[in-house]
Amino acid sequence: MVSKSKIHNERNVGVSVVSSDSVKQVQLAKGFWSKRLITGPTSGSQLFMLSRVSMDPNSTSTGSYPDKDEALFILKGSVRISWNGHRKNLLPGDSVFIPMGTTTIMENGSKKSKAELLAVIAPSKTLEELQVVVH
């Protein structure tokens, strides 16, 4: 269950505030967790989704969004991302844009620390429509 409060600005456009603590964390793959903070169902966003992602130590995830672009921003730890024969180590403050249909492999090679990142995915969909192809 997501708690949200509505604040209306002068033009009466709804603004949603979502507390991270109120959003259930879901496991997308082994060692790969997501809190979908801003989505159509939680906030009314029709253009993008914002998620906070956590990767357990020594975890790897392979996936792609066939019809969505994705941008990642590293908050904590390091993440190795591979795509189409390329590989890059990302550190806190680094960001990456992943075009729709691109299959990526994300790895947290740390033996002790979680990696945390923000993911922006567009366009936004309901949770039922939002499909990530995890291999």
Q: Does residue 15 fall inside a structural domain?
A: no
Q: Does residue 40 fall inside a structural domain?
A: yes
pTM: 0.81
Q: Does residue 8 fall inside a structural domain?
A: no
User: pLDDT digits over 20-77, tens only?
Assistant: 888 899 998 899 999 988 887 667 777 888 999 999 999 999 988 888 999 999 999 9
Calculate the CA 88 to chain-centre distance.
18
Residue 70's pLDDT is 95
Q: Which domain holds residue 122?
A: 24-134
Q: Is the pLDDT of residue 111 over 50?
A: yes
User: pLDDT digits over 113-127, tens only?
Assistant: 999 999 999 987 655
Among candidate residues 64, 67, 114, 112, the one with its CA nearest the CA of residue 84: 64
Phi first, then psi: give them for residue 21, nearest 5 degrees.
Answer: -65, -20
Q: What is the CATH number of the domain that holds 41?
A: 2.60.120.10
Q: Does residue 6 fall inside a structural domain?
A: no
Q: Is the pLDDT of residue 103 over 70?
A: yes
- Give the C-alpha distances (Å, rounded to integers) separating 30 from 33, 34, 57, 109: 8, 12, 11, 14
